[in-house]
């Protein structure tokens, strides 16, 4: 059903109003036929592949598709040769839709560079992973990134209404429709699959179907999105409440969230909320990201739970977070400082700290000294404060 009902025109596409609405930038690019290399980034089942095909139809270009989980460099070369021939002999451009582009390694990503630069293909990469974490800088500099959002309940309802009419289904109980919308959680493919399942449940009582569907609900409540739950987890960690932190972690994992995304959020929390009060926290959180790359559910839940609890019970400090925020604010709003003469490259005025007792010597590192780093009120940073005061003779 999902394949059968796939939109073929831009007017049939549902969702992504900010990108494809009347004033949406992506809509304007498509209509003006100025589409360039880009990345469609967002959750599954929101129409990334469908839109790629619609674009090729609108522009009357060839459409080639590869999946990075199975394709290799040889597959890519074959597509590029074909695209080159079509352009040379027929003057027809080719869109290469590369699904799961984040699965390509550095060598494979680099093999795309020349083809995207010289116009042999127009690359549309699709990924559920943040491209800024998973794609090479060289490739990122050559593409535009468009972020797709999970479909709203209203969007899913509209898609279901259309599917019901085309499938000639009648008298679907309201409870079934509401349950499908909740199970879908913004994924139209899941919604249509469950509608098709309902269609095939002839002779089964409605109550039995509802019971069957109930077992497939995720732990996300329909009125809560994952960002609310992530926020709850981080704030529980910040508030030193380990039980709440691990509960919200469980809600994320059982709800189907990618463990790698959760691990990255835990890393950020370790630096932002714990910082120098317990520097080991960031190392432990980083190990969670490493683990999540090789271990999936259900076992990864144990590792992430240990990390979330550890972060929650750790002493807290926002000194590093506050320091960099203050620096960035001054850089954006105040006059920039020049590098002092004594620490410029090859300066003869530079004093080499290792040539002095305790590997330290007082000299100028900023023309106008500003104390951006203010040690927190915790055992570890009290020691740091004492050390700095002793070195810089602040008390004296």
Whether residue 344 is found in the same domain as residue 256: no
Lowest mean pLDDT among 42-46, 211-215, 244-248, 293-297: 211-215
Query: Is residue 369 domain-resident?
Result: yes
Q: Are 383 and 389 in contact (CB under 8 A)?
A: no
pLDDT in tens, 87-110: 888 888 888 899 988 888 888 888
CATH number of the domain encompassing residue 54: 3.40.50.300
Among 168, 186, 214, the domain-final residue is 214
- pLDDT band per the 50, 70, 90 thresholds, residue 136: confident
Whether 55 maps to a domain, the answer reads yes
Q: Which pLDDT belongs to residue 317?
A: 96
Residue 167 or residue 368, greater confidence: 368
Is residue 245 within 8 Å of 233, Cβ to Cβ? yes
For residue 355, is it within any domain? yes
Whether residue 202 is found in the same domain as residue 271 = no
More confident residue, 215 or 278: 278
198 and 96 assigned to the same domain: no
Mean of per-residue pLDDT scores for the chain: 87
Angle at 65 between CA 63 and CA 69, to 5 degrees: 170
Closest Cα to residue 125, out of 65, 75, 46, 72?
65
In a domain, 324, yes or no: no
Tell me what the mean pLDDT of segment 207-236 comes to. 71
* pLDDT greater than 70 at residue 223: no
Q: Lowest-pLDDT range, 68-72, 143-147, 279-283, 312-316?
A: 68-72
Task: Mark whether 142 and 31 lie in a shared domain.
Answer: yes
My answer on whether 34 and 105 are in the same domain is yes
Rounded Cα–Cα distance for residues 48 and 127 (Å)? 9
Over 50: is that where the pLDDT of 154 sits?
A: yes
Binned at pLDDT 50, 70 and 90, residue 305 comes out as very high
Residue 15 falls within a domain, yes or no?
yes
* pLDDT of amino acid 205: 64
Residue 381: its pLDDT value, please?
Answer: 94
Q: Kindly state whether residue 325 falls inside one of the protein's structural domains.
A: no
70-92 per-position pLDDT tens digit: 887 788 888 888 888 888 888 88
Residues 187 and 286 in one domain: no
Q: What does the pLDDT look like over 269-286, one tens digit per residue? A: 999 999 999 999 999 999
Question: What pLDDT, on a 0 to 100 scale, did the predictor assign at position 395?
Answer: 41
Read off the pLDDT band of 387 (50, 70, 90): very high
142 part of a folded domain:
yes
List the one residue out of 322, 238, 230 whose CA is nearest residue 274: 238
Residue that terminates a domain, selected from 95, 129, 147: 147
Same domain (yes/no): 33, 138: yes
Q: Which tens digits make up the pLDDT trace of 368-383?
A: 999 999 999 999 999 9
Dist CA 338 CA 202 (whole Å): 77
Say if residue 9's pLDDT is above 60: yes
**Which residues are within 8 A (CB) of 177 and not within 5 positions of it... i.e. 6 or more apart?**
157, 160
Does residue 162 carry a pLDDT above 80? yes
Q: With respect to residue 219, please indicate whether it lies within any of the assigned structural domains.
A: no
Instruction: Indicate the pLDDT class of residue 255, thresholds 50, 70 and 90.
Output: confident
CATH code at position 307 = 1.20.272.10
The whole-number pLDDT of residue 209 equals 66
What is the SS3 assignment for the chain?
Answer: CCCCCCCCCHHHCCCCHHHHCCCCHHHHHHHCCCCCCEEEECCCCCCHHHHHHHHHHHHCCEEEEEECCCCCHHHHHHHHHHHHHHHHHHCCCEEEEEECHHHCCHHHHHCCHHHHHCCCCEEEEEECCCHHHHCCHHHHCCCEEEECCCCCHHHHHHHHHHHHHHHCCCCCCHHHHHHHHHHHCCCHHHHHHHHHHHHCCCCCCHHHHHHHHHCCCCCCCCCCCHHHHHHHHHHHHHCCCHHHHHHHHHHHHHCCCCHHHHHHHHHHHHHHHHHHHCCHHHHHHHHHHHHHHHCCCCCHHHHHHHHHHHHHHCCCCCHHHHHHHHHHHHHHHCCCCCCCHHHCCCCCCCCCHHHCHHHCCCCCCCCCCCCCCCCCCCHHHHHHHHHHHHHHCCCC
CATH number at residue 183: 1.10.8
Domain that holds residue 72: 10-147
Is the pTM value of this prediction over 0.75?
Answer: no
Q: Does the pLDDT value for residue 59 go beyond 70? A: yes
Q: Which of 114, 129, 147 is the last residue of a domain?
A: 147
Mean pLDDT of 112-120: 84
Predicted pLDDT at 396: 43
Residues 15 and 142 in one domain: yes
Residues 341, 232 share a domain: no
Tell me the per-residue pLDDT of 324-383, one tens digit each, with 9 for 90 and over.
999 999 998 999 999 999 999 999 999 999 999 989 999 999 999 999 999 999 999 999
pLDDT at position 196, please? Answer: 84
* pLDDT for 176: 79
Q: How confident is the model at residue 225, as a pLDDT?
A: 66
**Residue 161 and residue 137 share a domain:** no
Question: Does one domain contain both 119 and 34?
Answer: yes
The reply to whether 23 and 141 lie within a common domain is: yes
| Tokens (6 digits) for 174 | 């309201």
Query: For the chain, how many structural domains are there in total?
Result: 4
pLDDT, average across residues 296-311: 94
């Amino acid at each position: 059903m999902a394949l059968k009902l796939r939109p073929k025109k831009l007017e049939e596409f549902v969702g992504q109003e900010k990108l494809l609405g009347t004033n949406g930038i992506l809509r304007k690019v498509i209509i003006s036929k100025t589409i360039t290399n880009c990345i469609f980034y967002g959750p599954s089942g929101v129409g990334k592949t469908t839109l790629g095909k619609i674009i090729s139809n609108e522009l009357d270009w060839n459409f080639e598709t590869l999946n990075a989980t199975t394709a290799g460099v040889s597959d890519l070369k074959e597509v590029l040769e074909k695209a080159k021939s079509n352009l040379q002999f027929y003057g027809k451009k080719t869109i290469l839709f590369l699904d799961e582009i984040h699965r390509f390694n550095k060598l494979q990503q680099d093999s795309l560079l020349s083809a995207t630069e010289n116009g042999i293909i127009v690359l549309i990469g699709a990924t559920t992973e943040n491209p800024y974490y998973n794609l090479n800088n060289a490739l990122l500099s050559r593409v535009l990134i468009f972020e797709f959002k999970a479909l709203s309940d209203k969007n899913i309802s509209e898609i279901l209404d259309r599917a019901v009419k085309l499938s000639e289904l009648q008298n679907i109980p309201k409870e079934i429709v509401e349950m499908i919308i909740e199970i879908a959680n913004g994924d139209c493919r899941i919604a249509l699959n469950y509608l098709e399942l309902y269609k095939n449940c002839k002779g089964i009582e409605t109550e039995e179907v509802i019971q069957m569907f109930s077992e497939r609900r995720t732990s996300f409540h329909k009125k809560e999105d994952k960002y609310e739950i992530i926020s709850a987890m981080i704030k529980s960690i910040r508030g030193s409440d380990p039980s709440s932190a691990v509960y919200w972690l469980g809600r994320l994992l059982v709800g189907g969230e990618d463990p790698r995304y959760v691990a990255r959020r835990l890393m950020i929390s370790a630096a932002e909320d714990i910082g120098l009060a317990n520097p080991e926290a960031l190392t432990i959180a980083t190990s969670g990201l490493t683990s999540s790359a090789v271990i999936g559910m259900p076992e990864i839940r144990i590792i992430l739970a240990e990390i979330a609890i550890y972060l929650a019970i750790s002493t807290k400090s926002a000194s590093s977070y506050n320091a960099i925020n203050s620096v960035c604010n001054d850089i954006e709003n105040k006059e920039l400082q020049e590098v002092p003469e004594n620490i410029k490259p090859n300066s003869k005025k530079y004093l080499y700290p290792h040539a002095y007792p305790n590997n330290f010597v007082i000299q100028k590192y900023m023309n106008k000294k500003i104390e951006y780093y203010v040690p927190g009120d915790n055992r570890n940073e009290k020691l740091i404060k004492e050390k700095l005061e002793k070195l810089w003779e602040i008390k004296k």
